[in-house]
Amino acid sequence: MKIRSDLIVREVNGETVILDLSTGHLHTLNATASFVWHQLDGTKTVQDIAHAASQVFDVDIGVAERDVATAIGGMRDQQLLQEE
Protein backbone atom coordinates (compact mmCIF):
# COMPACT_ATOMS: atom_id res chain seq x y z
CA MET A 1 0.00 0.00 0.00
CA LYS A 2 1.13 3.47 -0.82
CA ILE A 3 -0.26 6.93 -0.40
CA ARG A 4 -1.71 8.51 -3.54
CA SER A 5 0.63 11.06 -5.05
CA ASP A 6 -2.06 13.64 -5.85
CA LEU A 7 -2.85 14.58 -2.23
CA ILE A 8 -1.72 17.64 -0.31
CA VAL A 9 -0.64 16.64 3.20
CA ARG A 10 0.16 18.97 6.10
CA GLU A 11 0.79 18.52 9.81
CA VAL A 12 -1.38 20.79 11.95
CA ASN A 13 -1.30 20.67 15.76
CA GLY A 14 -0.11 17.06 15.81
CA GLU A 15 -2.69 15.83 13.32
CA THR A 16 -2.30 14.99 9.68
CA VAL A 17 -4.57 16.99 7.39
CA ILE A 18 -5.06 15.71 3.85
CA LEU A 19 -6.64 17.55 0.94
CA ASP A 20 -7.83 15.24 -1.82
CA LEU A 21 -7.49 17.37 -4.95
CA SER A 22 -9.64 15.03 -7.03
CA THR A 23 -12.68 15.33 -4.75
CA GLY A 24 -12.00 18.52 -2.80
CA HIS A 25 -12.49 16.61 0.45
CA LEU A 26 -10.43 17.45 3.52
CA HIS A 27 -9.47 14.58 5.86
CA THR A 28 -8.05 14.87 9.37
CA LEU A 29 -6.23 11.93 10.94
CA ASN A 30 -5.86 11.43 14.69
CA ALA A 31 -2.51 10.50 16.26
CA THR A 32 -2.84 6.76 15.61
CA ALA A 33 -4.00 7.17 12.01
CA SER A 34 -1.27 9.79 11.45
CA PHE A 35 1.34 7.31 12.66
CA VAL A 36 -0.01 4.66 10.30
CA TRP A 37 -0.13 7.17 7.43
CA HIS A 38 3.55 7.99 7.83
CA GLN A 39 4.44 4.29 7.78
CA LEU A 40 2.76 3.65 4.42
CA ASP A 41 5.77 3.72 2.13
CA GLY A 42 4.93 0.70 0.00
CA THR A 43 7.44 -1.57 1.75
CA LYS A 44 5.93 -2.20 5.18
CA THR A 45 3.28 -4.80 5.87
CA VAL A 46 0.34 -4.29 8.20
CA GLN A 47 2.17 -6.49 10.70
CA ASP A 48 5.31 -4.30 10.44
CA ILE A 49 3.27 -1.19 11.11
CA ALA A 50 1.35 -2.84 13.97
CA HIS A 51 4.61 -3.93 15.61
CA ALA A 52 5.99 -0.38 15.41
CA ALA A 53 2.69 1.07 16.68
CA SER A 54 2.64 -1.31 19.64
CA GLN A 55 6.05 0.02 20.69
CA VAL A 56 5.33 3.70 20.05
CA PHE A 57 1.94 3.69 21.77
CA ASP A 58 2.90 1.05 24.38
CA VAL A 59 -0.06 -1.21 23.63
CA ASP A 60 -0.51 -4.94 23.16
CA ILE A 61 0.25 -6.16 19.63
CA GLY A 62 -3.35 -7.38 19.24
CA VAL A 63 -4.68 -3.88 19.99
CA ALA A 64 -2.13 -2.37 17.61
CA GLU A 65 -3.07 -4.79 14.82
CA ARG A 66 -6.76 -3.93 15.23
CA ASP A 67 -6.10 -0.18 15.26
CA VAL A 68 -3.76 -0.32 12.26
CA ALA A 69 -6.26 -2.41 10.28
CA THR A 70 -9.05 0.04 11.18
CA ALA A 71 -6.95 3.04 10.14
CA ILE A 72 -5.94 1.47 6.83
CA GLY A 73 -9.53 0.40 6.18
CA GLY A 74 -10.69 3.98 6.67
CA MET A 75 -8.00 5.29 4.35
CA ARG A 76 -9.03 2.75 1.72
CA ASP A 77 -12.70 3.68 2.13
CA GLN A 78 -11.77 7.33 1.55
CA GLN A 79 -9.66 6.28 -1.47
CA LEU A 80 -6.49 7.86 -0.06
CA LEU A 81 -4.32 4.84 -0.90
CA GLN A 82 -3.21 3.23 -4.10
CA GLU A 83 -2.89 -0.52 -4.12
CA GLU A 84 0.25 -1.93 -5.60
pLDDT score, position 37: 96
pLDDT score, position 81: 93
Full-prediction pTM beyond 0.85? yes
The CATH number for 2-82, chosen from 3.40.50.300, 1.10.10.1150, 1.10.10.60, 3.40.50.150, is 1.10.10.1150
| Segment-wise mean pLDDT, segments of 10 residues, the chain, 84 residues | 90 91 94 95 94 97 97 95 80
One DSSP character per residue, 17-65 reads EEEETTT--EEEE-HHHHHHHHH-BSS--HHHHHHHHHHHTT--HHHHH
pLDDT score, position 11: 93
Domain ranges of the chain: 2-82
